[in-house]
Structures are given as C-alpha cells and as structure tokens.
A and B are shown apart, each in its own frame.
Chain A
Amino acid sequence: MSEIENKTENGSTESAGGCAAKDTEDDKGLGLGVIFFIVAFVVCFLSGTLLFPKLLYSKKEQPFNFNHALHVGETGDCETCHFLREDGSFAGIPNLETCLDCHAEDALGETEDELVFVEEYIVKGKEVPWLIYSRQPDCVFFSHAAHTKTAGMDCVTCHGPIGESTSLKPYEENRITGYSRDIWGKNIWGIKKHSWDRMKMDDCAECHKEETGHQGYCFQCHK
C-alpha cells in the first residue's frame, strides 16, 4: 500500500512540472485534438459505412446465368419450377430432373448459358450448384405451404420481383457467416424499403405480429 502511495506521490510531482510546461500550448493542443477527432470520426464512420461492406462480402458468380423473366414467360408462374410437393414440403430450387422436364437432352435456346447447362450438367448428370440468395441457417424451419397456400401470400412479398430479372446478380457471400447479403439486406444499416429487402428473424416476427397478432413461438420457425 505504502509503496503505491509513494509512487503516486513521486509521479504527481513530476507530472505537475510537465503540466506547467504544457499549459501554454493547451488551447492549440485542444484544437488539434478536436480536428483529429473530427477527421478520425469522419474517416472511420465513412469507412465503416462504405468500405466495410466491401470488405465484409465476397462476390461469387453463379455457375451460369439464368433468365427468370424468360422462364416465367414460358411457364406463366413461379410454381411450375418452385413447387410444393404432394406432402406439402417445398421443392426449392429445381433439381436437374425438374429442369429436364422441359429441357430434355437438347438445348431449347441458343444462349451460351444454356450450352453450359447442357454440357456441364445435363450431359454429366450433375446437379447445378446454385448459390441460393435466400438460404437460411440450418436451425430455421420455413413452411412455404403455410405462407403461399394457406395465407395466400405472393412469392414477391419475400423474394422480390426476381421473376422479372433477366440475369442473376452476383452472389455476395458474407465472409463471417457464409450467408448471402440478401438476408441482412443490401443496406448495411439494415434499413428496408420493401418487404423483400431483408430476411432476418425480426422481419418474420414483424409480419407475423401484424398478420396474426403474435410474433410466434420459437418452434414455429426453428428446428
């Protein structure tokens, strides 16, 4: 105890001298400190807002391009390819077999992408390793039947107007979590303009609260 006190006393005498010497520069020091503060604040804030997302996400390309608009034009709806199975489960991204229902062995169009599809996947009998923008962690259970069939919701409400797109946007993978940027949403603040801009748990809860009066119990959406 006494040792510490001694040291403090010694220290305070020294610093008292130091302070006296600095007193004259105090104002300038403070001014510079403020400038430094502002500069650092602005730089850090901007990089946190603008640079950080660029670092956080890595861009990945899909195996080949896919024209949703074209397919919707041919089939007329989403459900032809993204259908509910007879047991009520959701088939998700169509597998090769579903594609082959129309594509048979030959290409139907003349695009380069379709050529890749035929040569790399149909001929080799390999499933296309699509990168799924809406992929959720394993602990999530989501019933498409409950939302699209019973509640009569539109695909667009959650997935956006993807059916109108003619090409696939790059898949931005979060380097930390491994999930797509579309889950958090494009806006780094997490601010959404449309219902389909984000797919976080809070977004589910928000809609549930509005529509059913209750955000739901854990097991409703978790497994």
Chain B
Amino acid sequence: MKQENNKAHKFGMVIDLDKCTGCGSCMVSCMSENNVPFKEDESNKKDSITWMRVYKLTNGKSFPDTEIVYMPRPCQHCGGKGDHGHSPCVSVCPATATDYGYDTGIVSQIYTRCFGCRYCMGACPYHARYFNWWDPKWPEGMEKYLSPDVSPRMRGVVEKCSFCYHRYQAARDTAYYEDREDIEEHEYQTACATACPAGAIVFGDLNNPEHMVHQIVKPDPHPDPYNKDVVGKSRNPKVFRLLERLGTNPKVYYLSEREWVRKAGDNYLDGEWDKIKNHHGSSSHG
C-alpha cells in the first residue's frame, strides 16, 4: 500500500518574547520529557546540556533605562538555504547521524549513529547542539523516572532538541488506531509548549493555515526578493528569526513588540538596521 509523504508538514514554533517570563518551566519540562541528565556542577554553561535554553538579552542601556528580555532557544530545525533541507548541521555530518525529515521539517539526531566528531556543533549557528562529555549518571533510584519514549544517551555523542518527535509518533499512532488520516493541532505539542505557564510558546504546522503558528507567523511562500536563500520569512512585522540573513531558515520564530529585541535577533552594521528594518518581517514598531 503506497501511502505517506503526500502531505508534508512543516512543524514550527513561535515564541512570544513579551510573554516569556524567563521562569524556566520549558527547560525543566524538556529535560524531564527527554531524559536529559544532570551533573553536580551545571554552572559551566558550555558543558551543561539544555536542549531548550533560555537566554537573557539586555538592551545594553544603563540604569534606569535598562531592559531585559528572555529568549528561549530550542533547536531551530533549520531548512537550510532555500529551505531545501540542507541544514548547517545535516550537511556536515559524516555519519548521517542527523538528517532532515522532509515530511515534518524536523532535523533528527540519532545517538547510536553519532560518533562524536562534533562537526555539527561547529556548524550550528545557534549553539543548539550539546556533546556528552561524560556518561550520564542518575543518582541511585532516580533512573526510575526515565521515559521509554526517548532513549538515554551515552558518552561521546551529540544531542539536541527533537521537537519532541516521540509525541508526534504517539499522536500518529493514535490517529492510525482511530483510522484518521492526520493528527490534530492539539495532539502534537512539544513538552516546552505545554508546560509554558505564560502560554508564550505556540507550536504547530507552519504549512497549515488553520494552525495558530501559521496565523501568527504568516510565512511568506516566496523567497525574500533581497536574499533568495531566505524562504518562509514572516509577514508579521513583529515576528523575526535568529540570524535570518544567513539563510538557515529556522522554523522557530520569535515575536516581540520591542524594536531592540527584534534587532537583537541578528548582527547589524552601524546604521544598517535603520535601512532594512522596513522590509517586511522586520519593520519598525513600538
């Protein structure tokens, strides 16, 4: 029976930075959902594995004009240049331990296939990938809370956010069982999205106009006229992506009313922001 792949999803996320409180629920929900280990000292953030990490941004002004904003950063599930699936990490992996799922837009990471060269970590512009420098160890008895839906990692492999792919699998299983063609929006939600007490994370199918994420982002189906590599740019002037001009085409979008926050999403030369901020997707508001 020939089936599947006829309707490609493009799962993505939009995070409202004005709603985000920096509380850390998404990080902990992610860690407990995905069997992420912990160690005695996690204050060296370079070796602290957090698939979802909340960064603190500041406008750099001095007291009392300082402003701060929190920015949760999962794997951006890049579509690569032109959104053809050549994500920065996927294209450098010599082991095919990470690939681009054209049916979902999700970038995989297969721990048993990975041999730990860390090329992908070097290639990722978002620091979304983490290396297991040590074998994970759970205090005696604590391994009882490990979930069978995500396999625990071992020393020497890279891991990262999977958009809780196992939840997609579980939702599809239920749909198969109930003889449904496809899953509903609410059936597949990532652990961070469901945990967020502020409702700042909206997850869904960017290809489905009925999904909230599509309605907020309003992705442009045509490539950016100024940069052909950029596809799916938001037509919502409050919405931006991180380092969008690289053409990595992330599927994680951010939303903010504050201009300085939107500007912080990329690096600009002096005066450059003022020239380009009026292009769709990054025009000035607030």
Which residues of A come within 8 Å of B, CB atoms?
Answer: 84, 86-89, 137-139, 141, 143, 145-146, 149-152, 211-214, 217-220, 222-223
Contacts and interface: CB of A to CB of B under 8 A. Distances in A.
A217 B112 contact: no
Nearest to A212: B4
A145 B110 contact: no
A149 B177 contact: yes
A141 B176 contact: no
Contacts of A143: 169, 172-173, 176
A212 B1 CA distance: 8
Highest count of chain B CB atoms <10 Å: which of A87, A89, A217: A217
Given A84-B177, A146-B176, A151-B1, A223 B165 contact: yes
12 contacts: A84-B177, A87-B173, A88-B173, A88-B175, A88-B176, A88-B177, A139-B112, A143-B176, A151-B3, A212-B5, A220-B101, A223-B149
B147 to A, nearest CB: 10
Contacts of A137: 112
A114 to B, nearest CB: 31
A217 B100 contact: yes
Given A89-B173, A150-B176, 8 more contacts: A88-B170, A88-B172, A88-B173, A88-B177, A138-B152, A149-B177, A213-B5, A218-B101
B111 interface: yes
A146 B172 contact: yes
Contacts of A220: 101
Main SS at interface, chain A: loop
Contacts of B169: 141, 143, 223
Nearest to B100: A217
Contacts of B106: 219
Contacts of A212: 2-5
Contacts of A218: 96-99, 101, 108, 110, 113
B58 interface: no
Interface of B: 1-5, 96-104, 106, 108, 110-113, 149-152, 162, 165-166, 169-170, 172-179
Contacts of B111: 139
Contacts of A86: 177
Contacts of A223: 149-151, 165-166, 169
A46 to B, nearest CB: 34
Contacts of A141: 166, 169
Contact of B170 (A87, A149, A152, A222): A87
B165 A150 contact: no
B252 to A, nearest CB: 17
Contacts of A214: 5
Nearest to B102: A217
Contacts of B176: 88, 143, 145-146, 149-150
Contacts of B149: 223
Contacts of B5: 212-214
B116 to A, nearest CB: 15
A217 B101 contact: yes
Nearest to A147: B176
A59 B3 CA distance: 40
B211 to A, nearest CB: 20
A137 B101 CA distance: 22
B173 A219 contact: no
Contacts of B101: 217-220
Nearest to B163: A219
A149 B2 CA distance: 14
Contacts of B170: 87-89
A88 B177 CA distance: 5
